[in-house]
Amino acid sequence: MSFSVFNSMTRSVEPFVPLEPGVVRMYNCGPTVYNRPHVGNYRAFLFADTLRRWLEYLGLRVEQVMNITDVGHLTDDADEGEDKLEKQARREKLDPWQISRKVTEQFFADLAALGVRQAKAYPKASEHIPEMLEIIEGLLAKGHAYAVGGNVYFDVKSFPRYGRLSGNRVEELEAGARIAVREDKRNPEDFALWKSDPAHLMKWATRFGPDGFPGWHIECSAMSRKHLGERLDIHTGGEDNIFPHHECEIAQSESFSGKPFATYWMHSKFLQVDGGKMSKSLGNTYTLDDVAAKGFNARQLRFALIRGHYRAPLNFTWESMKDAASSLENLDDLVVRLRRVAKGQEGAGQPQAGLELVQAARKTFEDGMNDDLNVSRALPGLMALRAAALEGRLGSAAALDALEFVRRANEVLGVIQVDEELLPAAIEALIAARQAARKAKDFKESDRIRDELLAKGIVLEDTPKGVVWRRKA
Ligand code: AMP
Ligand code: ZN
């Protein structure tokens, strides 16, 4: 079975075929850095990371770029409202550049904590103004755009495919209230490529006027072209990016280059809270710190956010975090058990026993991932292996094979404790064995276990309340 993905453009699942064999060029809409991204945003970014990891598992080289929006994203997502960064800057009495620096640093720290693989580039919008102006000039020259009083707009009627991605029809948009009517626009649904505003803090002088700044959509057209070229294999974002953001990107990029922009458009569903969208404006967001304060680490959060299908609804609750943490513990335990079976400490007597179970588990995992990155269909492969290990159906050779597979699967999931570091469950088991040896007055054995733990960095302390352990600093 080959990798198939749901393409928002065609609204169907299609086999994935990159433009250039062996290479995938992927652009992910990144954060608007006015506020620390919340776990909902990380659902979108972890989806992109899982997708990249799966493509790499399949042996493809992934050129991945995620942008940083540091200017031009207005509060209403279209042409009205305040610049999100400037609004936040006023609130915090900082300048918008300071806000952007601070939040971007925090974002990278969060990505590292969540085990996200580094993209090839994280371009900042404010550092790509010349590239945006180049496209804007090209669109003006080709009659797709027009300048009025310092603003430049894209004429959506010049691009007949406008609306194909979102299913919006220009006539309906015209009638709808979504887009505020501005007098200087030819058509109410035209969108800004460049805006003029003397009060804007982050601004650039151009031939259109002294105080201008880019529209949010042109940023991604310019940064993707600069870092990946005119044609992309995959473009991702959260579901809210479909319209207007991605619809507008397509209109700009395709009108400028005359080529199809992205082959596959992939959108992850929103993370919800209490059945509604998690969003900063609703004040129902959580950051990694909020999650840590409830006693969950970033690895557990990563698992909670990736373990379902990216197009399935996901409701964020502390109960669901607890559930994710306990499933993850089972996956960690799978490794501990497989190691024991591989060493012949337990399991089936026949080394080859259960090899076919490992094959089946691998197939379940790969089929699930190949089915539009359906992690929830893939995970039962790993769970079945744990059941097989627990029930003594695996021999040592099968366990070695299984360990190799779990390691590979974890290259994609990035959550399982697969290194040799002892897990709490394994430590507790060794402590119990040491207590039993002491009780049987087998001090040689109890000392041996103590030394074994020490060699692995675990220090035991006998206290009146029993044995406690800690990791050596
Ligand atoms: P922003 O910082 O608002 O530009 O959003 C960055 C990314 O996070 C975009 O791809 C959004 O679609 C996505 N996003 C925003 N809110 C959520 C949410 N509650 N769940 C999932 N993705 C989200
Ligand atoms: Zn974007």
CA of 30 to the centre of ligand 2 (A): 7
Q: What is the pLDDT of residue 176?
A: 58
242 CA distance to ligand 2 centroid (A)? Answer: 10
CA of 412 to the centre of ligand 2 (A): 25
Q: What spatial distance separates the first Cα and last Cα of the chain, rounded to whole Å?
A: 47
Ligand closest to Cα of 29 equals 2
Predicted confidence at residue 214, as pLDDT, reads 98
Identify any residues that bridge with 417 across adjacent strands, giving them in sequence order.
none
Q: In this structure, which ligand is nearest to the CA of 66?
A: 2
- pLDDT given at position 422: 63
- Residue with CA at minimum distance from ligand 1 atom 15: 41
Closest ligand 1 atom to residue 31 Cα is 2
Whole-model pTM: value is 0.89
- Extract the tokens encoding 106: 């925090």
Q: 283 CB contacts (<8 Å, ≥6 apart)? A: none
Work out which ligand 1 atom sits closest to the CA atom of 34. 2
| pLDDT in the model for residue 173 | 74
| Helix residue ranges, H only, 246-354 | 247-257, 288-293, 298-306, 318-342
Per-residue pLDDT reduced to its tens digit, 427-442: 888 888 898 889 899 9
Nearest CA-CA partner of 222 in 259, 196, 257? 257
State the Cα angle at 409 between 404 and 414, rounded to 5°.
Answer: 120
Residue nearest to ligand 1 atom 11, measured at CA:
238
Write the residue with the smallest CA distance to atom 21 of ligand 1: 270
H helices within 237-297, ranges in order?
247-257, 288-293
pLDDT tens, residue by residue, 269-312: 999 998 889 988 788 999 999 999 999 999 999 999 999 999 99
Q: Which residues of the chain have pLDDT under 70?
A: 1, 175-182, 420-423, 473
For residues 276 and 217, what is the distance between their CA atoms, to the nearest angstrom? 26
* Ligand minimally distant from the alpha carbon of residue 215: 2
**Distances in Å between the alpha carbon of 181 and those of 26, 173, 189, 194, 400?**
35, 11, 8, 17, 66
Percentage helix, strand, coil for the chain under 3-state DSSP, each rounded to 5: 50, 20, 35
Instruction: Give the domain ranges of the chain.
Output: 4-268, 298-413, 425-471
Structure tokens given for 57: 């598992």
| pLDDT at site 1 | 64
In order of 124, 150, 280, 320, the CA distances from 215 in angstroms are 14, 13, 21, 38
Ligand 1 interacting residues, C-beta cut-off 6 A: 29, 31-32, 40-41, 43-44, 69, 237-238, 240-241, 270-271, 277-279
Extract the tokens encoding 15: 């086999």
Domain 4-268, what fold? Answer: Rossmann fold (3.40.50)
In this prediction, residue 384 carries a pLDDT of 97
Distance CA 56, CA 305 (A): 20
Cβ–Cβ under 8 Å, residues 83 and 34: no
Res 420: pLDDT: 66
Which amino acid would we find at residue 454? L
What is residue 182's predicted lDDT score, i.e. its pLDDT? Answer: 64
Residue type, 389: A
Atom of ligand 1 at shortest range from CA of 33:
2
Task: Measure the CA–CA gap between 119 and 65, rounded to whole angstroms.
Answer: 6
Nearest to 31 by CA among 117, 122, 132, 127: 122
Burial grade of 244 (CB within 10 A; 0-12, 13-18, 19 or more):
buried
Going by DSSP bridges, is the β-strand pair 262-268/232-238 parallel, antiparallel, or unpaired? parallel
